[in-house]
Every structure is written in structure tokens, then in C-alpha cells.
Amino acid sequence: MPLAPIDDNGTQSYFEDTGAPVGSTDYTTLVLIHGALIHGASFKALFPYASQHNVRLVTLNMRDYPGSTPFTDAELAAMRGPDRNGQRTQLHKRGFEIAAFVIWFIRKESIPPLRLDGEKTSGGISVLGWSWGNTMSLSFVARATELSKQDQEFLEAYMRALVIYEPAPHSSISADSYFDEIHNPIRKQTLPREQQAAAFALWVSGYYAHSPTLLDAFASLTREEVDAGLATERIQNPLPPQIPTLQRLSAEEIAATSAYHVWARSQVLYQPDFIDMELFRENTRAALQDGSVWPRMQVCLIWGDMTLGEIIYTSWDIARHARTAWPEGGRHIHTVRLEGGNHFPHVDLPEQTMRVLAENI
């Protein structure tokens, strides 16, 4: 079992690695951070397509997820408690843990550093967060200014891109959030608990036919125009390619990629019933609006145009701020529409998704 040490207290992170593309000395490494409930194994459909793009893929399981060290009782109490500083400390710790993993992996594997040769860029390491996982990757970048000078300078030689992939509302910049405004079976209190998981699977992995006007204009639209163009119900009676991902997978495939037991223990603590959502927005702003550390690092926002509404809304919120209300020195954000993608394009469209990732890291 591949494990990485991430602190001096025995804490470890489980990861999986495609290895360096055969014969390559200038490949790019992409660290993939999973979303809620669905862990790093869900990215394995990308593995067969990585080497043809000169990319090395590394999946990283966050704390409490299979293979990685569970949270301590004290950490869970701090996350659950009402003290914002205690919550903030825990969120920041996740960012430092990713930084420790990235530094350890670079040194252990001697990955190629970032090289800029005219218009050609090679080597380096990129970090991708998917769905809720963006809160973790954004915390990593937000902590850049708090790392030691030695670690900042070490990572400067490698940091190539941050990929914001299918961001959940936790990653919004605006306080005006869809958390309480659109249907989400996990947050819909009228559903019996035993029905929530099944409803969530259909909702989160369904396909949605949003307005072409919304999809084509995107960041230039107003909030009202976005609202008008969003499909809030998934496509009913879909053809096979648009059957919800988690409905189409076998029980064995779902078991191999899911960790539903983590929800009640720790994942629920990242929901607005427990943590102050402003802490996530602080993280997003710190990561994206201050480019003083790792200024060469690109930021790419990738969203599927058949994903669920709150992902579209969060992507729009980030892109709109970057376009209209961005501070001087903020990181440039390149926005990419993944055509035909729902919230699981790395599962349903792995070859296309790998190509899009390779083109934008």
C-alpha cells in the first residue's frame, strides 16, 4: 500500500501513481484530489490515457478516506465545534498536508522541474481538485504564503498549474450561494435517511440539459440570466450515454470507489450545518486573488456543460469575479468548457477528459 508521511506524528496519506511515462524525462505530474464520498480510485479510468499525453497521474486520498490516516477525536471535535478559529485551523491543516505530500513526492520521485523554453513548457507538477476536493486544493495554494521560505522556493521550481475541476459551492467567492436554494437530496430534510444516498447518486451523477444561451455566454451573464438558463432536473428517460453515472456502474465498481461510511464520521462536518462557509470563501480568495507566491502557476477552471446546476453556478461565480472584480496581482483564470460532461467526466468520458486536462496543465 503506497503511503506518504505528511507530518512528524505518523500521519500518512494513501496515494496511487501511474509512474513516469516510459522514456520521458520532461513529463508533467498531475496530483488528483477527490470529492466527497467518492475517493481517488474514481480517477483510474484516466490512467490508460495519461502516458500518451506525457503526463504522470497521482491520486491522493484525503484524511479519513481509505488508506489515509483517520482524523483524531480532537480534530473531529475542532471541526464540529462552534469556534471559527478551530474550524479554520483544521481547514488550513488540510492545505499544509497536501503541501507536505507534494514536497515529499517531488523529492522521492525526482520528478522533472518546470521548464519554460519559449512557448514550450515541460515538467513540473499540477494539482487538481474535483468537486468538494477543490476546497482542499485551494487550501493548499492559499497556504503558500505561510510555508517556510525554503518550501516556497522549492515548490516555485515545480508548481505548474492549479486545476479547479467541477467546483462544488464550497469554492464560491460570493456569499450568495446556492447551498440553500436548489435541490440537493443530502440537504433535503424531508427524505428519509435511507433514501438520501440513492437520491444523491442520481442527482449528482445525472445529465442536465442547460440553456444553450447560458452555456455559450457563461461568464458574461447576470445572476438572473444564469438562474433562467439552469436545468434543475436531470434528463429523464435518457439514452445509455446519459444514464446517471452512479446508476450505470456495478455494485462492485461503486464499492471500489466510494466511502459512504466517511459521510457521518467527518465529511458531513464540511457542510454548512457545521462549518462556517465564509471560511471556504476566505480560502478561495487567498488562493486565487494573491499571486505573489508561485507567480508562474497557471489556474484553469474546467466545467462540464451537462453537470448539475450548483456546479455551473459555482463555476460562473468564480469566472465572473475573475472577469469583473479581480484585484491587481490576482491569478489569471483560464476557463474551459468540457462538452458533454456531467459531474463525472473522468469516469464517463476518460479519453476526452484526459486530453482536456493535458492541454490545460
Task: Name the strand (E) or helix (H) holding 121.
Answer: strand 120-122
pLDDT of 185 > 70? The answer is no
Q: What is the CATH number of the domain that holds 297?
A: 3.40.50.1820
Identify the band that residue 198 occupies on the pLDDT scale cut at 50, 70 and 90: confident
DSSP 258: B
Say if 325 falls within a structural domain: yes
Say if 105 falls within a structural domain: yes
pLDDT of residue 269: 92
- Compute CA 84 distance to the chain's CA centroid, rounded to the nearest angstrom: 23
In the sheet that holds 298-304, the strands lie side by side as 3-5, 12-17, 55-60, 28-33, 125-131, 159-167, 298-304, 333-338
Tens-place pLDDT, residues 260-272: 889 889 998 998 8
Tens-place pLDDT, residues 107-140: 999 999 999 887 789 999 999 999 999 999 999 9
User: Could you identify the residue written with the cell 513526492?
Assistant: 105
Identify the band that residue 196 occupies on the pLDDT scale cut at 50, 70 and 90: low
Q: What is the Cα–Cα distance from 310 to 305, expressed in whole angstroms? A: 12
Range of the domain at 45: 3-178+207-359
pLDDT of residue 202: 85
Q: What is the crossing angle of helices 84-109 and 277-288, to 10°?
A: 40
Identify the band that residue 160 occupies on the pLDDT scale cut at 50, 70 and 90: very high
Q: How is the chain split among helix, strand and coil, in percent rounded to 5?
A: 45, 15, 40
Between 154 and 184, residue with greater pLDDT: 154
CB-based burial label for 149 (10 Å; 0-12, 13-18, 19+): exposed
Task: Name the strand (E) or helix (H) holding 116.
Answer: strand 115-117
Say if 186 falls within a structural domain: no
281 in Cβ contact with 175 (< 8 Å): yes
Identify the band that residue 162 occupies on the pLDDT scale cut at 50, 70 and 90: very high
Residue 283: partners with Cβ closer than 8 Å, 6 or more residues away = 91, 95, 135, 138, 139, 142
Q: What is the mean pLDDT of residues 48-72?
A: 97
Say if 199 falls within a structural domain: no
Q: What is the Cα–Cα distance from 314 to 353, expressed in whole angstroms? A: 20
Tens-place pLDDT, residues 241-288: 999 999 999 999 999 999 988 988 999 899 888 999 999 999 999 999
Poorest-confidence range of 86-95, 213-222, 293-302, 329-338? Answer: 213-222
pLDDT of residue 272: 82
Percentage, residues of the chain above pLDDT 70: 94
Say if 165 falls within a structural domain: yes
pLDDT of 183 > 90? The answer is no
- Say what the pTM is: 0.95
* Average pLDDT along the chain: 92
Q: Quote the radius of gyration of the chain (alpha carbons, Å).
A: 19
pLDDT of residue 176: 66
Q: Which cell numbers in the block locate residue 234?
A: 436531470
Say if 194 falls within a structural domain: no
pLDDT of 188 > 80? The answer is no
* Number of domains the chain contains: 1
Say if 198 falls within a structural domain: no
Say if 200 falls within a structural domain: no
pLDDT of 330 > 70? The answer is yes
